[in-house]
Structure 1
Amino acid sequence: MINLDFLPSRQLGWYLTKLFVTRTFAVLVLLVIVLMALDLLGESGKILRVEGNGEAELWRYVSLRVPLLVQRFLPFSALLGTLIALASLNQNSEVVAMKSAGLSAHQILAPMLIASIALAGVAFAFNEVVAVDSNRTVTAWSDNDYEPLRAESGVQSNVWVRSGDDFAQAKLVMGRGSDVRLRHVTVFEREDNRLARIVKAESAVQAAGGWRLENVSTYDADMNFARRLPSLDALPGVTPDRFNLAKVRADEQDVVELKHSIADLEAAGRPTDEVRAGYWHKFSGPLSVVLMPLLAAIAAFGLARSGQVLLRAAAGMALGFTYFVVDNLSLALGNAGAYPGWLAAWAPLLLFFLIGEAILIRSEE
């Protein structure tokens, strides 16, 4: 008769779940504190260099960077937390006691896997609600050299657009559609494949058939002459969507926004390989948390008296870090269009799930 009771007892299930969750969050807090301190040491000088910035801006930077560190290192924390929990269980012969009671390796890991699924759901919601907005804001703020920046949901930074032979760079692009506004604009005008004039403006708004630049300074390369103008019309025929679609980053848009951006890029005949890979990775990335208990399981099974607990833990850590390397490589290939975005996002997850299952089955045998 098939045993359908996959989970261990409720008390043992809560015990294993608590071990997994507490160790994971302990490692995550430690990593975030250390990495945030190092990051702040490197950026605090740039922030305080701007007149008017002080302690409040430092704390604002911390509040924007912490969600990004949580997003990036939660899977690492799940891996290390699981390794710590399983190695401790093995070292104290608790795994032997559970297997002696008739529990299989899958049953021992089941509570951790269920907890990791819930954690992956929380991570996905956190990434979409908090991390996306933090990433967009801190990127725009740093590209603006940490000068005061009004918070807007549609802000993009360091956007380049080509108009004929000319190039235009906007440090900040705010709004969408007819509400697009540009700040710190530089236009590089070329003639016969050489730079003829550089036009810089503090801001730009849409005008009939182009853009009206405000507070303009120009430099003529032929005459070696510079002058200032209150305003200047430039970039004829450049529509607002050119700036919106020039730099679409998956980590700065939520799933709904990104899906609309993909549709807009397709309608404009622009490549979408990189954006599609990022779109699918929004789903597969948080699910990597579910994979960590499976990859770390090698640390749990095997006799503690054999003296190989540390070696097994190191093998589990190496296996987990190999997954992250393969995942980043696959995503890079997907961004380059080497194969479809959905395959780039999901293939490493499926591959290492099969590897983890094979190791776990081998351990049971």
Structure 2
Amino acid sequence: MIVARTLTLYVGRRFLTATFAMLVALTLLVSMFDFIELLRRAATRPDATFALVASIAGLRMPFVGMQILPFAILLGGIVAFWRLTRSSELIVARAAGISAWGFLSGPVVVALLFGATAVMAISPLSSAMLARAERLDASYLRAGGGVTALAGGRLWLRQADREFDAGGTAILSGRPERLLGTDRHAQFSLTDVTVWRLSSRDRSLGRIEAPKGELMPGRWVLEDAVVFGADRQPRPAQTLEIPTDLTPDRIEDSFASPDTLSFWALPGFIAVLEHAGFSALRHRLQFQSLLSMPALAMTMALLAAGFSMRNSRRGGVAQTIAAGVSAGFGLFVLDRITGEFGEAGTLPVWLAAWAPTAAGLLLAIALLLHLEDG
């Protein structure tokens, strides 16, 4: 039907304009507060110039935009549908026999494109820029010495070790010659290195002591290494090589936030983490959250319609819109709670990531059914 198609495109265009304007406005607002907070932290740092702080805030903007995208879709949709309802355009369309499910297909498709674009295109840019911002923050604004400060300046790593046992593990400890986050492309090396080699049943297979170890492509090279076997007797010092899947970037990323990894890089990095014996719960949760982003965006569009398409002559419009905003905050709180349970391993990762989307979708469908048929 030509009229329905034209109306769908018209409503979709109005929804796109309002949502994009809301996304830009909210991103700028949140980034401004982030910039002010960075300025406060930089006040006691003589090396942190205004340009540096502005660069960090600018690098964080795509990440901020991705975080507030669902809420921007909800608020932008509420504004768009409320304006269309106040001008009686949607009321006339529904009186003419056009179902709300028909003209809502335009906004739903727009929201789906917003979510898919954010995941597939913006995520790689956001993760790269956020990683750069985190390295600048660690170098100039943070008081501590990075993750190594948690263990007295020593770095602890774990990797697979199948030289003596198919399920063996090697635990490496040493002092990095550069602080994590300062120079991404510098050669990675450790001093005062200790390596514990364990079997699949966590039985000690030996220990290695070396004054220095360098991470080369595909292997650790330990200089003047002394090997202590199961009998605890030392062997003559020699240069040893231990195969590894670790790289300097992967070591950096294993301590960094999963937000610094793009949607496309997460599956491979999760496999590397689990192969090395690390927990990948946070990264799995991040991957599932990104997968759910398009569905969450569509849910927010439907929620906006359900809370803002009420006839203004019936009264209570302000309360209804306020209820829509409250529902958005409620889903945000639910997402935080389920995320905490997911990271702790209490909930399955897929359930923790998809529960807010499912809850919001059920609420939106109930509201629209009541609005259309009630």
Q: 2:337 corresponds to which residue?
A: 329
Determine the C-alpha separation between the residues in 2 that align with 1:49 and 1:210: 41
CA contact (8 A) 2:120 2:263 kept: no
Determine the C-alpha separation between the residues in 2 that align with 1:307 and 1:327: 32
Residues 17-64 of structure 1: CA distance to partner in whole angstroms, max 9, x if unpaired?
Answer: 222111112222222222222221221355576566545424422320
Q: Which amino acid aligns with 1:172?
A: G
**Mean Cα displacement is larger for which, 264-273 or 312-321?**
264-273
Instruction: Indicate the percent of aligned positions where both proteins have the same amino acid.
Output: 24
Q: 1:342 corresponds to which residue?
A: 350
Confirm or deny that 1:251 pairs with 2:259: yes
Q: Which amino acid aligns with 1:339?
A: L
Where do 5+ consecutive residues of structure 2 fail to align? 149-154, 159-170, 195-211, 225-240
Matches within 5 A, 1:150-169: 158=147, 160-161=155-156
Determine the C-alpha separation between the residues in 2 that align with 1:38 and 1:278: 25
**Shift in Å, 1:300:** 3.3
Determine the C-alpha separation between the residues in 2 that align with 1:76 and 1:309: 20
Secondary structure of residue in 1 paired with 2:310: coil
**Shift in Å, 1:75:** 1.3
**Mean Cα displacement is larger for which, 39-48 or 50-59?**
50-59
**Shift in Å, 1:209:** 5.0
Rate the CA distance shift 1:253–1:119 in 2: closer, same or farther, 3 A.
same
Q: Which amino acid aligns with 1:112?
A: P
Determine the C-alpha separation between the residues in 2 that align with 1:6 and 1:247: 55
Matches within 5 A, 1:1-365: 8-10=4-6, 12-44=7-39, 46-47=41-42, 54-146=49-141, 158=147, 160-161=155-156, 170-172=179-181, 180-181=187-188, 205-206=214-215, 209-210=221-222, 241=246, 244-245=250-251, 246-247=254-255, 249-365=257-373
Rate the CA distance shift 1:187–1:338 in 2: closer, same or farther, 3 A.
farther
Rate the CA distance shift 1:293–1:287 in 2: closer, same or farther, 3 A.
same
Secondary structure of residue in 2 paired with 1:254: coil
Secondary structure of residue in 2 paired with 1:134: helix
Residues 140-187 of structure 1: CA distance to partner in whole angstroms, max 9, x if unpaired?
Answer: 21111259xxxxxxxxx63652697977574337669xx7526xx898
Secondary structure of residue in 1 paired with 2:104: helix
CA contact (8 A) 1:161 1:242 kept: no
Rate the CA distance shift 1:45–1:344 in 2: closer, same or farther, 3 A.
closer
CA contact (8 A) 1:248 1:261 kept: no
Matched residue count: 311
Determine the C-alpha separation between the residues in 1 that align with 2:192 and 2:39: 31
**Mean Cα displacement is larger for which, 136-145 or 164-173?**
164-173
Determine the C-alpha separation between the residues in 2 that align with 1:171 and 1:266: 22
Determine the C-alpha separation between the residues in 2 that align with 1:186 and 1:139: 25
Secondary structure of residue in 2 paired with 1:172: coil
Secondary structure of residue in 1 paired with 2:302: helix
Determine the C-alpha separation between the residues in 1 that align with 2:183 and 2:245: 10
Secondary structure of residue in 1 paired with 2:180: strand
Rate the CA distance shift 1:302–1:46 in 2: closer, same or farther, 3 A.
closer
Q: Which amino acid aligns with 2:313?
A: R
Where do 5+ consecutive residues of structure 1 fail to align? 148-156, 190-202, 213-235
**Shift in Å, 1:130:** 0.9
Q: Which amino acid aligns with 1:60?
A: S
CA contact (8 A) 1:173 1:181 kept: no
**TM-score normalized by the length of structure 1:** 0.73
**Shift in Å, 1:7:** 8.6
Secondary structure of residue in 1 paired with 2:289: helix
CA contact (8 A) 1:82 1:293 kept: yes
Determine the C-alpha separation between the residues in 2 that align with 1:241 and 1:25: 41
Secondary structure of residue in 2 paired with 1:161: strand
CA contact (8 A) 1:297 1:316 kept: no
Residues 264-313 of structure 1: CA distance to partner in whole angstroms, max 9, x if unpaired?
Answer: 22222332222211111121134322111111122333331121111111
Residues 101-155 of structure 1: CA distance to partner in whole angstroms, max 9, x if unpaired?
Answer: 11112123221111111111221134322101011111121111259xxxxxxxx
**Mean Cα displacement is larger for which, 45-54 or 303-312?**
45-54
